[in-house]
Amino acid sequence: MNIKIICPPDADAPAVFAASELKDYLSRMLAGEEGELSISLKVIPDKEKNLPDCFSVELGPKGGAIIGNCARSVLLGAYDCLRRLGCRFLAPMKNCEVVPAVTSQALALKYEHRASFYHRGVCIEGADSRENVLDFIGWLPKAGYNSFFLQFKSPCIFYARWYEHRGNPFREREPFTPADALAWMEEAEGEIKRRGLLLHKVGHGWTGETLGYEAQSWDADPRPLPENKRPLAAQVDGVRGLWKGVPANTNLCFHNGEAVDSFAALVVEYAKENPNVDYLHVWLADEYNNVCECEGCQKTTPSDQYVELLNEIDRRLTAEGLDTKIVFLLYQELLWPPKTARLEHPERFILMFAPISRTFEHSYQVGKALPVPAYRRNRVTLPTSLDENLAFLRGWQGQFDGDSFVYDYPLGRAHYGDFGYVKLARVISGDVKRLRQLGLNGYVSCQELRAGLPNFFPNYVLGRTLMDENAGVNQLLEEYFSAAYGEDWPLAADYLFQLSSLSSTDYVNGKGERRDEEMAARMEAVRELSLDFAPTLDAHRGPGGWDTPFWEALDYHREYVLKLSRALRRLARGDREKAGESWRDFRELICEKEPDFQPWLDVYRVLEVTEKYTGFRPGQP
C-alpha cells in the first residue's frame, strides 16, 4: 500500500516525528494491502494556554486526519490511534511491542480525546544505561505520558550506578566519565524535544552548589567545607558543616543573606543558560531534621524561609525578562505550610506534593480533614497514613491555588514489596482517579526506569489512567495481559494477583516491626504458590524458545520470588543471621542474571532498598 502522511511544511518536530512513526507502523500493519492511504496531521491550538493534550482522529479506508492542540498532541493522537487499531506498547523495549496485521477496512475511527490531566510524567531514578534512558523516553508518549524529569544538573549518578555496576560483584566497571553523562544528557534532551515532551530538570543539588560543591548526586564528598562557606551552612547541634558529608543533603542558613543571594543567583544563571527547560525544580536539601537552628532561623519556619527564597528568585527572573516556570516542593519539613510568607506571583510557580513516607497498601482517600500537627524543629516525624499526608496538602492549598501535581513513589521502592504488581497497579489507578478531588493537576512518578519484573503493567496503568481517568483497571489488565501472555493470560494474571495479595509494600519498605509471624506465613504461601506455577511456565517454553518475552521474564521472576520470599520469611521470624544468608543467595541470583534481564530489573536499586529499608544485613562475603 502506498501510504502518505502529510504534514504542513512548517510543522514542528513532534508532528514530523509523528508522521514517520505513523507511516512505519501502518506500513507493517497493512503489509500486502493494495491501494493508497493519505493521512493529514494538523495542529489547531487551543485559545486558552496550558490546557491538557487534546487530539481528534477521523480515519477511513482511504485515510483522514489527526488533529492536535499542539505538535506533541498530534504524536499522542497517532499512538492512541495505533493502540485502537490493536498495537500494544507494553514496555520500553521494542521486542515487547505487539503490531498486528489489519486491513484498510479496520481504519474506521472517529473520536476526540482530551487528556484528563496536564502533568503526566516520570522522573529518572535507579541505575540506567544510555539505552535504558533513550528507550524509556521513546516509550513515554506511546503510554500516554507527556513529561520526563532528568534530576540534578546532570543525571550522571544514574548512569554511573550502571556503568560502574555498583553492588554487582559479577560485573566489572565499564569506561564512563561525567563527560559521557553530559553528552548522553544532551542526546536524551534532544529525543525529549523531538517528541515535544515537557522537560523537567534539577531539583536536588542547589544547596550543595551554594556551598561550593557540584552536588550532582547523593554521594559523600571527602573535601572539607571551605571556611568561607561555613557561615552559609545550617547550624545543627551547634555545628555548621556538611550533613553526614553529603553536600546535596546539607541545608543552608537562610537567615544569612549571602546564602539567599548565592542560591538565587545560581538558579537565575541556570535559567538563563537553559531556556529549553520547561519546568525548573528548586528544592532544598534531601534530608530532614537537619535545618538550621541558629537564633535568626528559629524566629521563623523553614517553609516561610523557602517561600521568601522563591520570591527572591522570582524577582530576579522577572528583572531578566525570564518566564521560567518554577516547581516548588512539599516534602519533609516543607510539608508544613508557611505561617506568614506567601508567593508574590503564584502564576510562575507549580506546587509539587511529595508524600514520600506514605503507605502504598491503599490509594489516596478523600476523608475528613485532619489538622496539621505542630512543627517541631529537627524533631519532625514524617506522616505515613494517607489522611495525615493529605492534611499537609490541604494546608498549602489554603494558601496557593495555582497549578500543581503529585510527585509520588510507587515504582521508586514500594514495588519491590509487591511481587505480583497487580495490587500496586490498582493502588496507582485509585490514586489517579482521586487527583481531581484532591485539587491536583497530574502526577510525576519518581521511579526506576527498569521497574519491569514481572512486567511494566503498573507504569502502563499510570500512563493510560492519567490520559483517561475513566479507564478501568480491569479493562487495562485484560488489554495488557492478553497482549503480553497470549490466550493463557488469565493464568498469568491469577498467579500474579495471588502473589500480590500475599505481598506487603509496607514491610519491604521498613514500615512495621521486623518480626511478624503473619508475614512469615504469607511468605511461606508465596513459596508454595511459586513452586506450583512451574508447570504453567513450562507449557510456554517450546523448542524454539518462549512464547513471548513476558513468559520468559515471568520464569525468571519465579526464581527471584522464591529467593527473596525465603529471606523475608526468615527475617519475619526473627532469624536475622539466616535471613542475611538467604538475602545473599538472592543477591547472587540477580547479580549473575542481570545481563540477561537488564531492562526488566534494576539490581542496584532492589539491593539498596532491601538493605537500607527492609533490614537485611549483607555481612560477608
What SS3 string covers 363-378?
A: CCCCCCCCCCCCCCCC
Residues 415 and 95: their CA atoms lie apart, in Å, by: 23
What integer is the mean pLDDT of 406-430? 98
Strand partners, 54: 114
| Contact between 237 and 244 (Cβ < 8 Å) | no
**E strand segments, 296-391:** 325-330, 349-353
Q: Determine contact, residues 167/607, Cβ cutoff 8 Å.
A: yes
pLDDT band for 385, please (50, 70, 90 cuts): confident
Examine the pLDDT at 66 and tell me if it is beyond 80. yes
Strand, coil or helix: 273:
helix
* Closest residue by Cα to residue 122 from 576, 534, 532, 448: 448
For residue 399, which phi and psi values (nearest 5 degrees)? -115, -20
CA torsion angle 466 468 473 479 (round to 10): -110
Nearest to 88 by CA among 497, 479, 523, 544: 479
CB 487, CB 335: distance < 8 Å: no
What Rg, from alpha-carbon coordinates, does the chain have?
Answer: 25
The rounded distance, in Å, linking the Cα atoms of 422 and 441 is: 25
451 touches 415 (CB < 8 A)? yes
pLDDT above 50 for 430 = yes
Q: Would you list the DSSP string of 170-209?
A: TSPPPP--HHHHHHHHHHHHHHHHHTTPEEEEEETTHHHH
Task: Indicate the pLDDT class of residue 379, thresholds 50, 70 and 90.
Answer: very high
Q: Is the pLDDT of residue 556 over 80?
A: yes
- The confidence score (pLDDT) of residue 359 equals 93
Name the band, by pLDDT with cuts 50, 70 and 90, for residue 621. Answer: very low
Q: What are the boundaries of each domain within the chain? A: 2-114, 119-484, 485-614
**How does pLDDT run across 240-270, given as a tens digit for each residue?**
999 999 999 999 999 999 999 999 999 999 9
Q: Which three cell numbers stand for residue 236?
A: 545543627
pLDDT at 366: 81
* 160-195 burial: b if 16+ Cβ within 10 Å, else e: bbbbbbbbbeebeeeebeeeebeebbeebbebbbbb
Cβ contacts of 261 within 8 Å, gap of 6 or more: none
DSSP state of 104: G
Tell me if 606 sits within 8 A of 561, measured CB to CB.
Answer: no
- 314, HSE (Cβ side, Cα atoms, 13 Å): 19
Residues 98 and 88: beta-carbon distance below 8 Å: yes
- 3-state DSSP assignment of residue 448: strand
DSSP string, 113-135: EE-S-SEEEEEEES---HHHHHH
Instruction: Tell me the average pLDDT of the chain.
Output: 96
How large is the average pLDDT for residues 185-189? 98
Angle at 273 between CA 272 and CA 277, to 5 degrees: 85
For the segment 467-483, the average pLDDT, to the nearest whole number, is 98
How far is the C-alpha of 446 from the C-alpha of 145, rounded, in Å? Answer: 14
Written as nine digits, the cell of 234 is 545550617
What percent of the chain stands above pLDDT 70?
100
User: What pLDDT is recorded for position 601?
Assistant: 98
pLDDT for 459: 98
CB proximity list for 170: less than 8 A, separation 6 or greater = 591, 592, 594
Question: Cα torsion for 79, 418, 119, 600, to the nearest 10°?
Answer: -50
pTM: 0.96
Kindly provide the residue ranges of all beta strands, DSSP E only, lying in 224-380, ordered along the sequence: 235-236, 239-240, 279-282, 325-330, 349-353
Q: Give me the count of residues in the chain.
A: 621
- Residue 238 is given by DSSP the state T
Residue pair 606/583 in contact (Cβ under 8 Å)? The answer is no
User: How far apart are the two ends of the chain, measured CA to CA in Å?
Assistant: 61
User: Which homologous superfamily is 119-484 in?
Assistant: Glycosidases (3.20.20.80)
Question: Does residue 25 carry a pLDDT above 80?
Answer: yes
* Single-letter residue type at 370: L
Question: What is the phi/psi pair of residue 452, to 5°?
Answer: -135, 20
The band of 49, judged by pLDDT with boundaries at 50, 70 and 90, is: confident
Q: Which CATH superfamily, name and number, covers 2-114?
A: Chitobiase/beta-hexosaminidase domain 2-like (3.30.379.10)
Closest to 519 measured CA to CA, from 564, 453, 556, 560 = 564
Q: What is the pLDDT of residues 202-245, one digit of tens each?
A: 999 999 999 999 989 999 999 999 999 999 999 999 999 999 99
Mean pLDDT of 419-440: 97
Instruction: For residue 390, give the C-alpha cell.
Output: 493529605
